[in-house]
């Protein structure tokens, strides 16, 4: 039976919203604070422009921080079947991907400091595709470890029939 591209069934963890929000704030706050802090320098002619830049950066950061995590949560999906790994991801540019089990080369989990704080992990499935690896961000640590073990077990041993590698 041929594989078909379809929307994956599972959402990422709801905690991913807080993780994406925290990541956004870690970028937005320093960006807006830098020109605001520069107003303390003896640059009288530039001071109004620095306040304007700080305000614009703060507004843009607030907008992105408010909208992006919710939107990403609505879009990000994943599913692992006996035949393939399906992912849907993106924010502005959305992408649906499918990786047949026979094409999987490596499976990795990743947990940065902020992800550990929220109890989350990312799972990366590397294939022979020129499009690059599939990544499922926002999984619970336990789910990511379980999926990594499942995918590793499914792809080790004899290559399945129709293996294209």
Give the model's pLDDT for residue 147. Answer: 96
Output the pLDDT for position 11.
96
pLDDT of residue 158: 45
Q: Give yes or no: residues 23 and 93 share one domain.
A: no
> Whole domain around residue 90: which residue ranges?
76-155
Closest to 104 (Cα-Cα) out of 78, 136, 133, 145: 133
Q: Which two tokens stand for residue 31?
A: 């960006």
pTM of the model: 0.84
Local confidence band at 3 (pLDDT 50, 70, 90 cut-offs): low
pLDDT digits (tens, 9 = 90+) for 45-77: 899 999 999 999 999 999 999 999 999 999 999
Q: What pLDDT shows up at residue 52?
A: 95
- State yes or no: pLDDT of 93 exceeds 80: yes
111: domain CATH number is: 2.30.29.210
Question: Does residue 7 belong to any structural domain of this protein?
Answer: no
Give per-residue pLDDT as tens, 100-156: 998 999 999 999 999 999 999 999 999 988 888 999 999 999 999 999 999 999 888
SS3 112: coil
Q: How many domains does the chain have?
A: 2
Residues 115 and 135 occupy one common structural domain: yes
User: Closest Cα to residue 108, out of 136, 138, 79, 80?
Assistant: 136
165 lies in some domain: no
DSSP conformation class of 102: G
| 134, burial (CB in 10 Å: exposed 0-12, middle 13-18, buried 19+) | buried
164: in domain: no
């Amino acid at each position: 039976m041929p594989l078909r591209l379809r929307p994956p069934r599972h959402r990422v963890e709801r905690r991913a919203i807080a993780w994406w929000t925290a990541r956004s704030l870690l970028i937005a706050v320093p960006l807006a604070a830098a020109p605001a802090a520069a107003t303390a320098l003896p640059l009288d002619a530039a001071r109004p422009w620095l306040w304007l830049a700080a305000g614009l950066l703060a507004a843009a950061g607030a907008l992105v921080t408010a909208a992006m995590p919710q939107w990403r949560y609505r879009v990000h999906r994943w599913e692992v079947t006996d035949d393939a790994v399906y992912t849907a991801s993106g924010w502005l540019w959305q992408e649906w991907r499918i990786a047949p089990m026979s094409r999987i080369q490596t499976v990795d989990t990743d947990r940065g400091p902020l992800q550990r704080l929220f109890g989350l992990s990312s799972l990366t499935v590397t294939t022979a595709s020129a499009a690059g690896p599939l990544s499922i961000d926002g999984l619970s640590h336990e789910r990511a470890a379980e999926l990594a073990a499942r995918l590793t077990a499914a792809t080790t041993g004899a290559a399945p029939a129709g293996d294209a590698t």
